[in-house]
Amino acid sequence: MDFDRVLEKCGNFGRFQFVILILYGYTNILSSLHYFSQTLITFTPEHWCSHDDLMGLGVAELRAIYSNVSHSSCTLLSEVVNGTGVASDESCQDWIFERENGYESLTTELKWVCDKSHQPAVGQSFFFLGSVVGTISFGFLSDHIGRLPAMLMATLSGATGDFITSFVHTLPWFAFSRFVSGLSTDTMYYLMYILVFEYLSPKRRTFGLNIILAVFYCFGLMTSPWIAMWIGNWRRYLWLASLPALGVLIYPLLICESAQWLLTKKKYDEAVACLKKVAKFNGRQVEDSVFDEFVKHYREKMNEESKLNKQMDTFLGMFKTPRLRRFTTTLLVKSVIITLSYDVINRNMEGLGSSPFKLFSLTSSVYLPAGFTILLLQNKIGRKGMACGALLVGAITTAATGFLIAVLDPNENAVLLALMVGLGRFGTTVSYDAEIQYAAEIIPTSVRGQAVSNIHVVGLASSSLAFYVIYLAQYYKPLPSIFISVLMFLGALLCLSLPETLHKKLPETLADGERFAMNESCLYFPCLHKRRESLTEHTDQKSEP
């Protein structure tokens, strides 16, 4: 008797799953506050070099005075003659900032603009460096000490980094604190994702995981810019964003470790204890004979696997067999494509004719329809069809959005550009969210935590290139969008080489993974396959005498 059958007897969509989904939602709020805190604390408003003649003037007047001055943000004026500024050769020492609702960002407080404008970017680079180290480390820990303790450690390390950041005044300390903050990045999210994934009914996974992600992550993103403006200071915002992470300390009191992970570690008694807790929570009565048969099944399976393979399953083992090697390589490349596209589109909010705070908040609303899109389509067209289709549509949408951003005046077309940015975010969000579940289903249980983390960390490492991709606009405005569109189109093609996982028993070991969907065509899509079967049956019925 395998895990899925026993979990069904214990309840695979009952009160226990409701609690774990609510905690998953809370984790999504923490993750959204944490991941985009770097963007919110370093927003740089429009600014001009300070001058006695400019004191008390409004934005329109300042723009008019600097209208004939190149690099107006960093050029000091010697005087103002007839409403026009005369540039000086001296360097700028102070600035007038057009703060959003009086919000004091890191860049305005520490005056990291002009010749110091690279310093926030340096901090961001250390943030992503930390994410690489943290994702590898916590992914390794998740497969050795368990999903739950690794998730708790990741969440608290990220919150600690944010809290330390709120006290810094110099670049070295800022870089260090962002490195500590980056240790968790998305790790707390995807480890909780795996935990929920393994306790949820296969039929309910798409609904539970994607709706919770859409609602709670969307809530966190939409509210965080308004909270930042309401608080009015980047330091106090980081306090508010980090302190709720202490709530994860109650998780072990409400949920238990992944029983599937415990089975792969041959901790059968602990796995049974977890399943009994699930059954009790869900009000189910399960006979001890069921658990005895369950343990017997896995003991025999593990003994058989150990005879065939003396070594334990590892992530590197996924590269030792031809089919798993192809799947793993494809997932790694696809992670780079999707994560880089996601970051470039989500973080490029300045210079579009709207308040970056409001634009970020309003376009974050696309997470909700993106979640419902996955919910409505993924179980109909399949995982491969969803991943391939989302990337293809995203490529077309991104190209069109970039073209419109390039040819339109931002100040005169702010609303239209906001709609197009939202559309671009929608495409990348569907691609990003669909990719997470698809990868988790292809990867065997025995290495799921470490493999998902390593695949994810490769994608996160590519995020450090986002700044350079955005900088391509200096040469030709649509170039970043064209570059991202080409990448997403290639990602759509790569998806064809992956197996379909819809309605299939997922692999538990590397041996299972190598045999998974062995005879499946690269053009197999469940929706088309059902249609062909239906047409064949209809033809056969007609041919009968």
Question: CB neighbours of 520 closer than 8 A, spacing ≥ 6?
Answer: 499, 500
- Per-residue model confidence (pLDDT) at position 251: 94
| Strands, E assignment, 220-348 | none
Alpha carbons 259 and 271: distance in angstroms, whole number: 5
pLDDT in tens, 129-156: 888 888 778 878 887 888 899 999 999 9
pLDDT in tens, 245-288: 999 999 999 989 988 889 888 899 999 999 999 999 999 998 98
3-state secondary structure of 27: helix
Which secondary-structure segment (H or E) carries 95?
strand 95-97
Rounded to the nearest 10 degrees, the angle between the axes of helix 367-407 and helix 205-212 is: 60
Question: CB neighbours of 189 closer than 8 A, spacing ≥ 6?
Answer: 27, 28, 31
Entry field: residues in the chain: 545
Alpha carbons 80 and 343: distance in angstroms, whole number: 42
Question: Phi, psi (5° rounding) for residue 3?
Answer: -60, -45
- Per-residue model confidence (pLDDT) at position 537: 42
Tokens 């992944």 belong to which residue? 258
Tokens 């996601």 belong to which residue? 342
3-state secondary structure of 48: strand
Can you give the pLDDT of all 545 residues of the chain as single tens digits?
778 889 889 998 889 999 999 999 999 899 888 877 877 888 888 888 887 778 778 878 887 887 777 777 788 887 776 667 777 777 888 888 888 888 999 989 999 888 887 788 777 778 878 888 887 788 788 878 888 999 999 999 999 999 999 999 999 999 999 999 988 877 787 788 888 888 888 778 777 777 888 889 889 888 888 888 899 999 999 998 899 999 999 999 998 998 888 988 889 999 999 999 999 999 999 898 888 898 888 888 777 766 655 556 677 777 888 888 888 888 889 888 988 888 888 777 766 667 778 888 888 888 888 878 887 887 788 888 888 888 888 888 888 877 777 777 766 777 887 887 788 888 888 888 778 778 888 888 777 767 877 787 788 778 777 767 876 776 777 788 888 889 989 988 988 888 888 878 878 778 888 888 787 777 777 766 655 444 344 444 444 44
- Going along the chain from its start, the domains and CATH numbers come out as 1-41+115-310 (1.20.1250.20), 47-98 (no CATH), 311-537 (1.20.1250.20)
- Per-residue model confidence (pLDDT) at position 109: 92
Which secondary-structure segment (H or E) carries 49?
strand 47-49
Question: CB neighbours of 300 closer than 8 A, spacing ≥ 6?
Answer: none
Alpha carbons 118 and 121: distance in angstroms, whole number: 5
- Per-residue model confidence (pLDDT) at position 38: 79
Supply the pTM of this predicted model.
Answer: 0.73
Question: CB neighbours of 533 closer than 8 A, spacing ≥ 6?
Answer: none
- Per-residue model confidence (pLDDT) at position 540: 43
For the stretch 127-165, what's the b/e string if a residue is b when 16 or more beta carbons lie within 10 angstroms of its beta carbon? bbbbbbebbbbbbbbbbeebbbbbbbbbbbbbbbbbbbb
CA quadruple 451, 456, 459, 461: dihedral, nearest 10: -90
**Distance from first CA to last CA of the chain, Å, rounded?**
45
